[in-house]
A and B are shown apart, each in its own frame.
Chain A
Amino acid sequence: MSAQTVAPQPVVEPRAQSGNLVLEARRIHKVFGGLVAVNNLSFSVFEGEILSIIGPNGAGKTTVFNLLTGVLPLDGGEIWFRGRKLNGLPPHAIARLGMARTFQTVHIFENMTVLENVMIGRHPRSRYGFVEAAFQLPWARKEEQAIRQHAMACLELVGIADLAGELAGNLPFGQQRLVELARALATEPTCLLLDEPASGLSHQEVVELDALIRRLRDEQGITVLLIEHDMNLVMGIADRIVVINYGEKIAEGAPEEIQQNERVIAAYLGEDV
């Protein structure tokens, strides 16, 4: 973890720049068997904003991420990312376009070291293949060097550079989440999709995560899409919130608007209290 802990900053809301549209879901639809998981959902994500998607368990949040990243095919609607239609593109092509994600249940490569995990994140930003590797061609070596350096920088960014040589599977859960985050950052994403990054973290770790996400947005200009159940984190960090329930959008707006929205309170917050 970082040496000097960043105190939670006072909430200064940089409102969504009305300008550049990064990601747009147009009436996306997904059905599992007879169950409508995502129902004609539309939302837009603007450059440099932190957009949080919240909703009760089973509302379809993770399914939305799976649709956005191409892990699941759409049953209807369109997804546009930086002026390109993503429909039908495989996950690796979408990653190459600059969309990276983490998983609700961590999916790190347990059989590899932390550094190697993050080096995988450089895959879409490097090129050399079987032949260059087999014969250790000079530019493959050079690229390998660059991959390692960039991966190391990503580890430093999330504050786990000292774990570089550890086997990822041996780390405690909270650190595995950070490995996943560093790995996603290594792909140099324009848009970062975080699926419940705070679940299973201690209070202190959540505070650090909060600061880290802000830093990623402010310093790297990364647009963040955040699924999260930790309402303190969401209300403090999100520029805008989209609330979904049963796969449908029931509200959208700034955190304070969402907190006062009656439908949200009824459908979501109300159930929790």
Chain B
Amino acid sequence: MSAANSSVLSRRLHVTRWAAKHNNLTAFVTLALVLALLPFWVTNNYHRSILVFIGFNTMLTVGLSLLMGYTGQISLGHAVFFGCGAYITGLLTTRYNWSPVLAILAAAVLTGLLAYMIGIPIFRLRGHYLAMATLGLNIIFETVVVTETKWTGGPNGLLGIPRLNIGPWVLKSELSYYYLVWAVTLAVLAVSLNIVNSRVGRALRAIHASELAASTMGVEVDTFKLKVLTLSAVYASLAGSLFAFYLQIVTPSSFSFIVSIELVVMVAVGGLSSIWGAIFGAASITLLGEALRNIMPRLVRGASAEAELLAFGAILVIIMIFMPDGLTAGIVQWLRNVRRSGQRQAERAKQSPDAVT
């Protein structure tokens, strides 16, 4: 390998990295613009509320993607951190009259701390055992929330959470929550994209590929696992806080075991190690859920929520069979095939110009 040659190579590599980075930037700016303009087209409050929920789910999914997709640590208990954020915010604002912004920050710090402390013992487990243990977190959370009625309102939930205010400005309309939630989501997204494309992101992926090799290369495996869990819990807490202000009520069912599973599904559908995939997964599964809720009762007379879950499951099985790398990767592959066959047709047309008129 001559020096001149390699410098050309390294320059080319530099160029591709630059392009990759700018692709991310372009995609990010495009997404921000689309989101900013979307409400002009989506004027129905119900539809706007779906968009808000996609925002919550994106925050949750992006965090879970960092933990599961990038670092390879399965969590079937992510709804717990979502719930912690919501309940802590709710408690502080209703029982102690904290200002909403302070409550959000306090919830994020406390949930992050909780995740860190849970992580210390739980990360002694790997693979399926870790999954089982995180599953247990849901049960603990649900039990605490349902039985500590004095604090949490029990099964009826925590009522009377005030509207979110930033200084004198009180957020009331659907539209204001839409913008707030998506502003925070975009911040979460930007931070996550930066982390993924950095020394930290590399270390996380290294842990996923081989903990043994990562540790002998100097990666502090346990510390990084704890930190990424904490970060994803903080994201979840932020989502939970905003969720609490948005609905002004938090009930245990919003943070149940099913929600944890749905989040994992969103990550899997989006494609495990892809931040952009996480948004896509969050959006598609949220929309799918809403669509099924509307369609199923029409298709099957007297169909209830269970019927919706049935169709949900069937669709997931189909996705996983035909697009095991997730919907995003599957669609990208499909587009590539389409383009390639298009090129082939164009070439054929060029070869025999008479054939095509």
> Which interface class (under 10, 10 to 19, 20 to 34, 35 or more) fits A?
35 or more
A95-B9 Cα distance, complex, nearest whole Å: 30
B194 and A111 within 8 A (CB)? no
Q: Which residues of A contact B220 (CB under 8 A)?
A: 90, 92
Q: Closest CB-CB distance, B283 to chain A, in whole Å?
A: 24
> Which B274-301 residues sit within 8 Å CB-CB of chain A?
none
Q: Which residues of B contact A165 (CB under 8 A)?
A: 13, 16
Q: Closest CB-CB distance, A214 to chain B, in whole Å?
A: 18
Number of interface residues of B (CB under 8 A): 36
* Residue A162 interfacial (CB < 8 Å): yes
Interface string of A180-219 (1 = CB under 8 A from B): 0001100100000000000000000000000000000000
Q: Closest CB-CB distance, A215 to chain B, in whole Å?
A: 14
B215 and A161 within 8 A (CB)? no
Residue of A nearest to B212 (CB): A107
A144 and B199 within 8 A (CB)? yes
Q: Closest CB-CB distance, B19 to chain A, in whole Å?
A: 12
A130-B199 Cα distance, complex, nearest whole Å: 9
Q: Which residues of A contact B16 (CB under 8 A)?
A: 165
* Residue A50 interfacial (CB < 8 Å): no
A130 and B206 within 8 A (CB)? no
A101-B214 Cα distance, complex, nearest whole Å: 11
Q: Which residues of B contact A140 (CB under 8 A)?
A: 198-199
A91 and B198 within 8 A (CB)? no
Q: Which residues of A contact B208 (CB under 8 A)?
A: 111
Task: Sort A-B residue pairs by CB-CB distance and give the 6 closest, nearest first.
Answer: A124-B218, A133-B198, A95-B218, A107-B213, A109-B209, A91-B215
A134-B228 Cα distance, complex, nearest whole Å: 12
* Residue B273 interfacial (CB < 8 Å): yes
A162 and B5 within 8 A (CB)? yes
Which residues of chain A have a CB within 8 Å of any CB of chain B?
2-3, 69, 71, 90-92, 94-96, 100-101, 103, 107-112, 115-116, 119-126, 128-130, 133-136, 140, 143-144, 147, 152, 156, 159-162, 164-165, 183-184, 187
A123 and B198 within 8 A (CB)? no
- Candidates A2, A143, A162; contact of B199 at CB < 8 Å: A143
B216 and A115 within 8 A (CB)? no
Q: Closest CB-CB distance, B24 to chain A, in whole Å?
A: 12
Q: Which residues of B contact A92 (CB under 8 A)?
A: 215-221
B1 and A120 within 8 A (CB)? no
- Candidates A112, A119, A130, A161; contact of B10 at CB < 8 Å: A161
Q: Which residues of B contact A159 (CB under 8 A)?
A: 1
Q: Which residues of A contact B10 (CB under 8 A)?
A: 152, 161, 164
Residue of B nearest to A147 (CB): B199
A126-B48 Cα distance, complex, nearest whole Å: 45
- Candidates A109, A111, A144; contact of B273 at CB < 8 Å: A111
Q: Which residues of B contact A121 (CB under 8 A)?
A: 217-218
Q: Which residues of A contact B209 (CB under 8 A)?
A: 108-112
* Residue B191 interfacial (CB < 8 Å): yes
B213 and A108 within 8 A (CB)? yes
* Residue B231 interfacial (CB < 8 Å): yes
- Candidates B206, B216, B219; contact of A112 at CB < 8 Å: B206
* Residue B163 interfacial (CB < 8 Å): no
A120 and B203 within 8 A (CB)? yes
B200 and A129 within 8 A (CB)? yes
A128-B198 Cα distance, complex, nearest whole Å: 9
Q: Closest CB-CB distance, A102 to chain B, in whole Å?
A: 9
A94-B195 Cα distance, complex, nearest whole Å: 26
B205 and A164 within 8 A (CB)? no
* Residue B43 interfacial (CB < 8 Å): no
Report which residue of B10, B203, B219, B231 has the largest number of chain A beta carbons within 10 angstroms of its beta carbon: B10
Q: Which residues of A contact B206 (CB under 8 A)?
A: 109, 112, 120, 123
A119 and B200 within 8 A (CB)? no
B1 and A112 within 8 A (CB)? no
